[in-house]
Structure 1
């Protein structure tokens, strides 16, 4: 993208990642509204049409003849606005706001506590463990992957290689500790050194030219027949070091380092973008196979495969291999996320999820949509598609 965009790279990254969200918002305008919401606001006819669409779609998917979809009774409890008027003594706006907030918070708390009561308490505990372990592994590795890839990219001089000779180093070095190294006829030209420490190393016939640095130290190093031209190596950066037949020319003082051409931040954004893009095949696979192989099978299989892929991280010795492992891990893990979302929703009855709103009953000669004691809508398995349970 060029150095001109480097300072604004995070803005470009956010804009690119926001485009799918914009497309999703546009697509939502073509989707039907929630029947529960339509019934709450009194739009019964629109709600019946959407429920009929769900009913007919499931009948056709099961290969069963379509049945007549009718409603013989609806019982709607008092809405929150009515409760506010009843509980409000003064009728002032702040009193109504207080009652509304208190009522909503109390309803959220009751719904939360009901998740830890019979008969869904065991499901809540098990799902909590699965959610924690999956989140811990996924987000932990998501944070670690870009850092280790950046480390592999910059750490070209491996500590196991004790002798570096007859090369020109003209790339940025950062976050390194090079100990016991020997540099012979090495040219450090146009290089930026950030948080680099050289310990117990020998520099023979080396050239340092146009070098800028920050937080760099040479500890117990020996320089023989080496030259320093246009560098910012001040005396305090050399700790217990010796010089033999060395020269310094045009030495700069102060902090001269610049980040204008530093692509480290851009690299982190690019790696994250690739990892995020890799979940697309996993989403497609999970959408096609979830109803065929089952939720728990897909959840367990995805977690096992993603765990196996983590084992091969041991053999990752280059940045390209680590990027490939990142994409593979994200692509395998997304199926577990999708399965866990569906399993979590389906293991709880509808009255344990949203706040109570209404009760809907159908006549005896058709399928019953819902009839719960606290006034919540819920479709039995033979009526609603799994994806629309929410």
Structure 2
């Protein structure tokens, strides 16, 4: 024991070491009989539920965004060998591809080019005034005696193009993209909002039925049903279907989260409850990080691996959860 005259710094380090040793001993007691099996099973359930839940939370919005992009690309309009003279473009051109076009004495005024590509086209004596581009390029085009004023058309938009006797004045600077041009950020938040909203009925159902059907039945049943609902994502080919499956998945999985919290707290004795719960939460956070990394890397590559992985993990975790001892009606230790 440290004396009163001991160095204050040494006292601090001694106290820290003592506390850390106590924490470590308490943690190791979570793996002693009779709670060792429960700790291992709970860690597996926490890990699998978190891995599937947070992994799909990242995967869902990006997949929906890819479906939107594919649908948008399928509606592209293609124009070949067109010749337009003495025409004024003062409206938005969107989702178009112009190949081998000839534009003579045309005026592009107060307009926006949104996802428009010009390929091998010629612009002769054309006037560009207050033109903004979003996702648009001029590839292998030729500009002859063109005049650009207050536009954002620069070298990055003129890919392999030739500019002959043309001038640029008062070019726009900064990002010209607006909310109307790209709402993908809004869409990600909106999809997450719908998924979070679907949690509300799941919370109500779990609160009303947990004591009636039992913690384990709700835990295992919710995880197995969540895994089955993930499998049906394989057949999701539209935005509305994917959003519906997201809401169904979140509504089912929240019941598993609620029952898992209760089961974890009731399976540990009082002197190890906080440490055991903290260990399970640490496994949860580790699984969340791995889920975000793994599922995020598979976005846009394949649907099979994320769906099968999430389904297998959730069903497996649910079956492990059903092997936990039932704590309904038991007196806490």
Take 2:233 and 2:186, find their aligned partners in 1: how far apart are those partners? Answer: 23
- What is aligned with 1:239? 159
1:112 aligned to 2:23? no
Show the 5 A alignment for 1:90-239. Answer: 90=5, 98-158=13-73, 160=74, 163-164=77-78, 190-191=111-112, 211-213=131-133, 217=137, 231-239=151-159
Whether the 8 Å CA contact 2:150–2:172 is kept in 1: the answer is no
Q: Give 1:90 deviation, angstroms.
A: 3.5
Give the alignment's Cα RMSD to 1 decimal.
4.9
Q: Does 1:305 align with 2:225?
A: yes
Any stretches of 5+ residues in structure 1 without a counterpart?
1-85, 356-379
Return the match for 1:258 from 138, 155, 176: 176
**Pair 1:329-2:233 in alignment:** no
Per-residue Cα deviation, 1:234-279 (whole angstroms, up to 9, x for no partner): 3443435699xxxx99776464423554644333333322222211
8 Å CA contact 2:210, 2:259 repeated in 1: yes
- More divergent stretch after superposition (331-340 vs 101-110): 101-110
How many Å apart are 1:211 and its aligned residue? 5.0
Residue aligned with 1:212, SS: strand
Aligned counterparts of 2:20 and 2:27: Cα–Cα separation in 1: 10
Of structures 1 and 2, the one with the larger relative CO (CA 8 A, separation 6+) is: 2
Once the two structures are superposed, what CA deviation does each residue of 1:123-157 show, in whole Å capped at 9, x if it has no partner? 22222222222111111111122223334445542
Deviation of residue 280 (structure 1)? Answer: 1.0
Whether the aligned pair in 2 keeps the contact of 1:299 and 1:336 (CA below 8 Å) is yes
Alignment length (residue pairs): 262
Distance 1:133-1:212 versus aligned 2 partners, 3 A rule:
farther
The two structures have a TM-score, normalised by structure 2, of 0.58
Q: Partners in 2 of 1:318 and 1:325 — Cα distance?
A: 11
Q: Is the 8 A contact 2:214 2:328 kept in 1?
A: no
What residue is the counterpart of 2:199 in the other structure?
279
Deviations 1:182-201 (A, max 9, x none): 789xx9x95475xx796x96
Contact 2:226 2:252 in 1 (8 A): yes
CA gap 1:192/1:163 in 2 versus in 1, 3 angstroms:
closer
CA distance 1:279–1:96, change in 2 (3 Å): farther
CA gap of 1:325–1:381, structure 2 versus 1, over 3 A, is closer
1:33-44 matches, within 5 Å, as none
Query: What SS does structure 2 have at the residue aligned with 1:269?
Result: helix
Task: Supply the distance in 1 between the matched residues of 2:65 and 2:42 (Cα, whole angstroms).
Answer: 35
Using the TM superposition, give the Cα deviation of residue 281 of structure 1 relative to its aligned residue in structure 2, in angstroms.
0.7
Matches of 2:49 and 2:200 in 1, distance apart? 19
1:238 and 1:316 mapped to 2: Cα distance?
Answer: 39
Whether the 8 Å CA contact 1:213–1:257 is kept in 2: the answer is no
> Quick check: which has more Rg, 1 or 2?
1
Query: How many angstroms apart in 2 are the aligned matches of 1:309 and 1:381?
Result: 28
In 1, Cα distance between the equivalents of 2:5 and 2:160?
80
1:268 and 2:188 aligned: yes
Task: Give 1:320's aligned residue.
Answer: 240
Shift of 1:333: 0.8
Shift of 1:103: 3.6
Going from structure 1 to structure 2, the CA distance change for 1:134 and 1:209 (only over 3 Å counts) comes to farther
* Preserved CA contact (<8 Å) 1:279 1:330: yes
